[in-house]
Every structure is written in structure tokens, then in C-alpha cells.
Amino acid sequence: MSTVMKTTRDVRGVGLSIPRPDGPEKVTGHVQYVADIKLKGLLHAKLLRSPHAHARIVSIDVSRARALPGVRAVLTAADIPELKRKAPTRAHAVLAIDRVVFSGQPVAAVAADELAIAEEALDLIDVKYEVLPASVDPLQSLKPGAPPVADAGTEADASEALAHSAVAMAKSDDAPPKAVNVTQTANVKRGDVAKGFAESDVIVEKTYRVPMVHQGYLEPHAVLAEWDTTGQLTLWASTQGSFNTRAEVADVLGLEENRIKVIPVECGGGFGGKIRALCEPITALLARATRRPVRYVMTRREELEAGMPAPQVIIRLKTGAKRDGTLMALEAETVLESGAFSGTVLAVSSVFLGSLYKWPAFDIKGSEVLTHKPSVAAYRAPVAPQTIFAIDSQMEQMARALGVDSTDFRARHLSRPGDPMVNNQPWASNGAFEVLEKAAAHPMWKKRAEWKASGGNGHGLRGTGIALGGWLGGLQPTSATVKLNTDGTLAVLTGQVDIAGTNISLAQIAASAYGVDIEKVKITTGDTDVAPMTGLSAGSKTIYTVGVAVMQAAQDARRQTLEIAAGELEAAMQDLEIVDGRVVVRGMPDKGVTLASIGKKGNLYMSKVPPVIGVGHPAFTQQAPAFAAQLARIEVDPDTGEVKIHDFVIVQDVGHAINPLACEGQMQGGAVQSLGIALTEILDYDD
Amino acid sequence: MPKQILSFTVNDEPVETLVQPYVTLLDALREDLGLTGPKEGCGTGDCGACTVHVDGQPVASCLMLAMQARGRSVRTIEGLAHAGVLHPLQDAFVRLGVPQCGFCIPGVLMAAAAVLAEHPRPTEEDIRYGIAGNLCRCTGYTKMVAAITEAAGSLT
């Protein structure tokens, strides 16, 4: 027996680098993703997609496709009474009704015995289109007279903003959009911007564009749908949030949530692109029409043409400062290209542009513009990376124009906790200043002059870059339960989709909060029928919110356990502690009861001891902004423009690292994806 | 089209199955033989998630017809562990916390196993070149290279 006394403070739990317990399943190929699941009688779905960015559907003839042997159903909009015009979201636009608004939009759906038959059936569907002029460039699309994307009267979609609990705009001077494709506008102001510029010695005006890029998760969207004879729908989905998926599907299909079970199957990457429902409704409708289980898996080409990529963001910034570096004014104009459906989080852009640094005067305008392209979603946070790129680059440009050190310049003007954001809410506690300071002190930054001087002479041009960015942190209510098993082990239940390895961290929190070693804790991600309501795996908030739910549930279970033990030991609860799987009286290690005996009594016939089940169901008001500073040591070939990254440093404020191993993986992966956006990736469209 | 008989060896076991002549090796493994470890990430040979070994060589099984594997020996991720013991690569991937979403991992491991077969003491460049055909969007590859390096050390 161990001589080390264990308390809640020194169990094997929070702070340890523990490999995720499902690792062996993942490295042996045994983990099942949606496309790996086979049900008896399974049918395969394919969607016929529009080849045109904008066209009127003159006619659809599916008769030849329906006649093909092995085809079990062919659906068009005419077969789906739930479909309505003016679809407020992409999910509601299950199939195009009489007009297609982006290339790749589904027009008809087929379910067949084999995938090859479904593919063949697509070739037999005859759609006649009248091609219409398309709005492809957001700067053209926002002008009056541009070809309209949405049906007149379609409402803007702010549900993504709600899903992320991004900062609400307390004071937004919204003018009604005039241009037909401008679906949301925002304008926040403070102070006298014209006076600020008039008194500035240095004014820098630049436009920053970040292209539309795809999240590129390796697993394409996939869903499997089955109805039982009582009208219960089960969806096996690749989603970042099973409860959100259930709510969206229920809304689109007009079903009660009680009739839908969403099983969050292992999700092969999301990065923000699998938050909103996409192909779940049509797959469910095919399953209903055929009374068979139907599986739909998008191809990579379909993903790139008709996924939900990150928006193109165009930001014009004009900033002014005094010769001594005093900031005077910021003027900003943001255009978010939302594709064919509204749904970007416009407020995030305004908040970051105006709040990161202390501007005495600002005037920030933003518009969401529709184009004839697939609708967009988050990618490592909605609109934040793109906006941060613009304002951080602008600060770099300002420092250069003033001839001052750019890290000093950032640090001097950086908003600190308590400073007002553009919506006048105070900045929450954050590590922006600290990560910037750390990066500036790193040898790679200190030795940037030597690195620069080593360029040329057979090498390319060499330089070192620094950037500072962050995210406000999402919020979403969530819940968890912790049960004591009859052998003294713990069962933690949430609905949390574990993409990145969050479950091990949650289990560590449960272990520490209850007072047992991590080996005694099993955590399960339940489906929407069995799991308590759980938020999205998105918004950089899983541990911050679900972790709290698990912690509270474990504390609740601990309290119940101690209460039962107190009765048995005839001791006061506050004198008890949990040591090595036993509740003991502090200082009297021989006087105790095992957790197993308490657990057993919760399931013993005729027992008067209730089962231990802790519940945590917090809601949140306080965001936890997360900041990172990064250094890149690069070399540019002056002839080809090729950029080679020689070294890269990430300094990130992760808060208290519950599982450092998992934190490192997150930081490395996020940095490499951002390099992809910066250097190599684009979803490019011509006219 | 009439189905054809495909006889080959899969993970050291002789296998005989009926496949359509147009079916890829990936689909035959996944749909007919139930070996869903190899993944389809792109279907065009770009992402490497479908990597298996054919006669010891790594191939994108989404680009190879099943009938081309006739008489040959195929190894999938399901055949990398031996007698219930993880291959040193698999063990290192778990311990170093490589898998996040995990979708690319079967393909990366098969590519890595091929690297180690060719270079028992691989340089970092050997490793990076060997897995250059495998896309991963979660990890940034850093831990992968570390894990493969560590596994190479334990193999020698």
C-alpha cells in the first residue's frame, strides 16, 4: 500500500500529459467514422449538383433515373413538402426549388443499392437550366443592380453568432441594407475620427484580403440516417455538436427533437466546418422515402465545391498616429463574403478591429455580402484569423512608418484587461501582453538582424516576422454527470464530441475534482437521447465550459459520497477525505469506508443508500480570451516568390494546461493550418 | 458487369472474394472485406488516407483497381499490429499523443512503416519525404515526425 497520502490535490489528474485512452483504437484503424458503419439493408446516396453558379431550373425529369434497377428513391424539391422558399440557412435549402444559387448546390437526390448505381442514376436525371448572370466578386456583388443571390425577403442568419456566443454588439448603429446582396451591416463609432486624422502626423491606409479557404478536414461530411417503424429518426453524424445538429434537423424537417437521436460518431476533423447541419436533412428524407437506412458521404470534390468554407474577408484600414507614436484614429471597412446564404459573424470582425488596440477614435463599418458561391462557416474561429491578420499587419505597418520597434509599438497600445472593447464591455483577463513579451524576448526575435544579414549570397531574402492574435472565447451552457460505480470507479457522461482529445482532459478534471486517480475514470460521449445537453466542440471553449460542468458534477458526486460516508462513519463531512479509493476520517486512516462499498449500496436490493450521481449544468457569462504570439523565420526566393519557413515559434496562453500533451498538439496543428491559409491555400473562382 | 474472382493475401490471410472489375482496392477492402481502417479522404490519390502496402510497397489504394491486387499480398492498418501487440510506430503514436481526429492516422502509419522498412535509421528528411504524400490537418506533423523517429530507434 502506498505510503503517500492522496487527497484531491495530489491524485493523478489535472496537469499530467496523459495520452488519450482511445489512442490504440485510432492507431489500429478500429475507430469507426460514419463511412465505416454498415447497417443491414444499407442504401447509398448521391446528390445531383448544379453545374451553374446561378440559373433558373426550367424542368427536372427524373423518370429515367427512377427506372434504373437498384434505384430506390429519387427526390427533387417537388417531393419534399417541408421545403420552403427564402431558406434562412443552408440546411433549410435541402434541394434547390426553382433556382440554383451556387455551383454545387444539390438539385436532386438518389438512394440506391450500390454507390455505382446511384452515380449512374445521376447521369439519367435531365435538368434544364436557364443560366443567369452570377455575382462572384463580393465587391461587385454589394453594388446596387448586382445579380441577386437570395430570394427577396430572406432574413439574415445570426445563428452562427449565437452558436459561438461571440461578443454581442452592445451599440451597433445599424442602417437598413440597401444593396440587394448586402444581408447584414454593422457600424460602431467612438470619438471624432476626422479630427483624429487631421491631427495625425502619420496615416497608413491598406487593404487586406484573405481568400475563401476550405477547412480541409480529412474526413468529408458524412451521415447515416435510419427511421424505425414508430417514426423515430436516428442520425449517425460527423458533427462538432450533436445537440446543435438535432435542433437544426428538427427545425428543417418540422420534427420534435424527441423524435430524433443524433449519434455523434468519431469526427474526422471539423475546424468550424462541421458545426452547421449540411447533408443530414436530405439523407434523412431519402431514408424516409425508402424506409431503409441511407448513408451519404461527400466526395472531396463536393466538399471543395459545396462544403462550408471560410469566407473571403476584405478589410480596408486607415490608421493615424502622432510622430511620437500616439494612436489617433482608426477607420475600417470590412466586407465578409458569405456565399449564397447569410450567416457570418460580423460582430467578431468589428470587435477585433477596434478593441485589440486602444484607439481614441474609431469608425468601423462592416457588411455581409452574398455571392453565388457556397455559404461559409467558421475555420479555427469565425472571421477572427482573417480580422487579426488585418489589424496586426496594420500595426506592423504603422510601426515601420513611425520607425519604431513593432513589438514595443504593439505592447504600448495593446488593450489590457479592463480596457473597454468597441461594445464598451471590459476586456476579460487575458495573456495578450504576456505572450507578446515572451515572443519578443525569444532568441529568434532577438537575432533577427543576424538572420536578415545572412540572406542573399546564394540564399534567398531572409526575415523574421512576429504576429499577435487571439480569440475572445466562446460560451455555451452545457452539462455533465458523474456516477459512482459499484466498484468505486467513476463514469463521466457528456455529449461532447471529442475531436482533439478533450475527453481525456475532462476525465482528468473529474479525477481531480472527485479525488481518485485518472485510471479510475471512464468518460463517455453519449448520443442526444442519453447524454445531458452539451455544447459544441467549437469556439475554443470545450474545456472552459464542459470542463466546468464535469468539475461541478464530480464535486457534486464527491459531496454525495462524503455525505453517505459521514453517516456510516458517524463523522462530520468536513472531517472526511478520499484517499486511495476510501473515504477516511482525516488523521485516522484506519477509520474509513471504501468507495466500492458506497457504490455497491447504491445498487443493493433493499438498500436505503441512494446511488451517487453528480450533476453539473453551468451557464456562463465570462469569456476567456486566448492569445498567441508567433515568430516565423523565413526565406523568400526573390525570383519565384517561394517562401521557405526555417523555424517557427508559438507562444500561447492556454490557461492552466489540463493535459500539456494535448495542448501542444493543438498549438502545432493550429499554427500549421494558419500557414496554409497564409501561403498555399485558396478556393479560387473565375467569372 | 459480371463480378470477378479476386484471390489475394490480406494481412497474411488468403482471401477470395467477388468484386466488380471497376471497384478500387480501397472499396474492396472497405466494403467487401470490412477492413475500414484505410480511409477515403479524397479518392484522387492526394491525401494518402487510403495508404496500404501491396507486396511491401505503400500505395494509394483509391487509385488501384482491386483486380490489380490479384495474387499479391496486401497489408492494411489492421495488419500492422502483431498478435495484439502494437507495432512500435503505433505505440509511439499513442504515447506521444499524435492522433487528434485520427482520420489520417492509418494512412500515415502505413507510409511510416514503409519508410522504416526502407530506412531502418531514417533521417528527419527521410521521414518527412516518406509521409509527404499524407495530409494531416490536425497535428501540424511535428509529433508525427517525433514519433516515427522514436519508433525507428526502438526498432534498431
Rounded CA-CA distance B52/A606 in Å is: 57
Q: How far B28 CA sits from the closest chain A CA (Å)?
A: 13
Q: B95 to chain A: which residues are within 8 Å by CB? A: 19
Query: Which residue in A86, A99, A108 sits closest to A134, CA to CA?
Result: A99
Contact B103 A673 (CB under 8 A): no
User: Would you say residue A458 has pLDDT above 90?
Assistant: no
Q: How far B55 CA sits from the closest chain A CA (Å)?
A: 20
Rounded CA-CA distance A137/A131 in Å is: 18
Rounded CA-CA distance A583/A434 in Å is: 42
In this structure, are residues A335 and A365 in contact, taking their beta carbons and an 8 Å threshold?
no
Provide the pLDDT confidence category of residue A174 given band limits of 50, 70 and 90. low
Listed in order, strand segments (DSSP E) in A265-385 are 294-297, 313-321, 327-339, 362-370
Q: What is the DSSP string of A549-605?
A: HHHHHHHHHHHHHHHHHHHHHT--GGGEEEETTEEEETTEEEEEEEHHHHHHHTTST
The reported pLDDT for the residue numbered A152 is 80
Q: How far A501 CA sits from the closest chain B CA (Å)?
A: 6
Give one word for A544, left, alpha or beta, with left for phi > 0 and alpha for psi -120 to 50: alpha
* Interface probe with A: pick from B51, B100, B134, most Cβ of A within 10 Å: B100
Rounded CA-CA distance A624/A635 in Å is: 36
Nearest Cβ partner for B104 among A218, A270, A499: A218
Cβ-based neighbours of B155, under 8 Å, separated by 6 or more: B88, B116, B120
Rounded CA-CA distance B25/B19 in Å is: 10
Nearest Cβ partner for A269 among B30, B44, B138: B138
Burial class (CB in 10 A: 0-12, 13-18, 19+), A639: exposed
| Coil, helix or strand at residue A150 | coil
Nearest Cβ partner for A219 among B30, B80, B103: B103
* Interface probe with B: pick from A22, A25, A26, A114, most Cβ of B within 10 Å: A26
Choose the weakest-confidence range: A77-91, A147-161, A487-501: A147-161
Backbone angles phi, psi at A85, to 5 degrees: -70, 175
Mean pLDDT confidence for A176-190:
84
| Coil, helix or strand at residue A547 | helix
Rounded CA-CA distance B22/B29 in Å is: 14
Mean pLDDT confidence for A22-41:
97
pLDDT tens figures, A557-597: 999 999 999 999 999 999 999 999 999 999 998 999 999 99
| Coil, helix or strand at residue A673 | helix
Percentage of residues in chain A having pLDDT higher than 70: 96
The reported pLDDT for the residue numbered A2 is 35
Contact B41 A673 (CB under 8 A): no
- In the sheet with A99-100, reading across from the earlier edge strand, the strands are A99-100, A55-61, A126-131
Contact A500 B137 (CB under 8 A): no
Nearest Cβ partner for B100 among A17, A28, A499: A499
Contact B39 A26 (CB under 8 A): no
| Coil, helix or strand at residue A91 | coil
The reported pLDDT for the residue numbered A366 is 95
Using DSSP, how many helices (H) and how many strands (E) does chain B show? Answer: 5, 5
| Coil, helix or strand at residue A97 | coil
User: Would you say residue A439 has pLDDT above 50?
Assistant: yes
Cβ-based neighbours of B143, under 8 Å, separated by 6 or more: A664, A665, A668, B96, B97, B98
B65: β partners: B24
Nearest Cβ partner for A24 among B20, B76, B86: B86
Helix boundaries (H) for A363-458:
384-402, 406-413, 432-441, 443-446, 448-453
> Across chain A, what does the average pLDDT equal?
94
Contact A668 B142 (CB under 8 A): yes
Q: Which residues of A583-610 are buried (b: 16+ CB within 10 A; e: fewer)?
A: bbbeeeeebbbbbbbbbbbbeeeeeebe
Percentage of residues in chain B having pLDDT higher than 90: 94
The reported pLDDT for the residue numbered A159 is 66
* Length of chain B in terms of residues written: 156
Rounded CA-CA distance A657/A655 in Å is: 6
Rounded CA-CA distance A181/A145 in Å is: 9
Backbone angles phi, psi at A233, to 5 degrees: -100, 130
Contact B103 A216 (CB under 8 A): no
Query: Which residue in B43, B46, B37, B41 sits closest to B10, CA to CA?
Result: B37
pLDDT tens figures, A333-356: 999 999 999 988 888 999 999 999
In this structure, are residues A419 and A354 in contact, taking their beta carbons and an 8 Å threshold?
no
Burial class (CB in 10 A: 0-12, 13-18, 19+), A3: exposed
Residue A550's alpha-carbon distances to A478, A491, A599, B141, in angstroms, are 9, 11, 19, 31
Query: Which residue in A507, A665, A13, A651 sits closest to B95, CA to CA?
Result: A665
Query: Which residue in A334, A204, A221 sits closest to A275, CA to CA?
Result: A221
User: Would you say residue A556 has pLDDT above 50?
Assistant: yes
Rounded CA-CA distance A307/A272 in Å is: 11
Contact A664 B22 (CB under 8 A): no
pLDDT tens figures, A622-642: 999 999 999 999 999 999 999
B1 DSSP 8-state letter = -
In this structure, are residues A524 and A495 in contact, taking their beta carbons and an 8 Å threshold?
no
| Coil, helix or strand at residue A320 | strand
Contact B102 A35 (CB under 8 A): no
B85 DSSP 8-state letter = B
Rounded CA-CA distance A384/A368 in Å is: 15
| Coil, helix or strand at residue A124 | coil
Q: How far B130 CA sits from the closest chain A CA (Å)?
A: 18
Rounded CA-CA distance A96/A150 in Å is: 12
Q: What is the DSSP string of A597-633?
A: HHHHHTTSTT--SPPPEEEE---------EEEEEEEE
Mean pLDDT confidence for A419-433:
95
In this structure, are residues A651 and A362 in contact, taking their beta carbons and an 8 Å threshold?
no
Rounded CA-CA distance B104/A399 in Å is: 42
Q: How many CB atoms lie within 10 A of CB A32?
A: 14
Rounded CA-CA distance B137/A271 in Å is: 9
Q: How far A635 CA sits from the closest chain B CA (Å)?
A: 19
Contact B97 A500 (CB under 8 A): no
Q: How far A496 CA sits from the closest chain B CA (Å)?
A: 14
A74: β partners: A110
Burial class (CB in 10 A: 0-12, 13-18, 19+), A4: exposed
In this structure, are residues B69 and A468 in contact, taking their beta carbons and an 8 Å threshold?
no
Cell of B18: 467477388
Rounded CA-CA distance A544/A618 in Å is: 11
In this structure, are residues A317 and A330 in contact, taking their beta carbons and an 8 Å threshold?
yes
Q: How far A8 CA sits from the closest chain B CA (Å)?
A: 26
User: Would you say residue A648 has pLDDT above 80?
Assistant: yes
Contact A219 B41 (CB under 8 A): yes
Cell of A408: 514595443
Rounded CA-CA distance A331/A362 in Å is: 6
Which residue does chain B place closest to A501, by CA atoms? B100
Q: A33 to chain B: which residues are within 8 Å by CB? A: 39, 103
pLDDT tens figures, B64-91: 999 999 999 999 999 999 888 999 999 9
In this structure, are residues B60 and B51 in contact, taking their beta carbons and an 8 Å threshold?
yes
The torsion of the CA quartet A98, A100, A101, A102, rounded to 10 degrees, works out to 170
Rounded CA-CA distance A49/A71 in Å is: 18
The reported pLDDT for the residue numbered A7 is 46
In this structure, are residues A460 and A663 in contact, taking their beta carbons and an 8 Å threshold?
no
Q: A26 to chain B: which residues are within 8 Å by CB? A: 94, 99, 102, 105
Burial class (CB in 10 A: 0-12, 13-18, 19+), A64: middle
Cell of A276: 452547421
Place of cell 490480406: B10
Mean pLDDT confidence for A660-674:
95
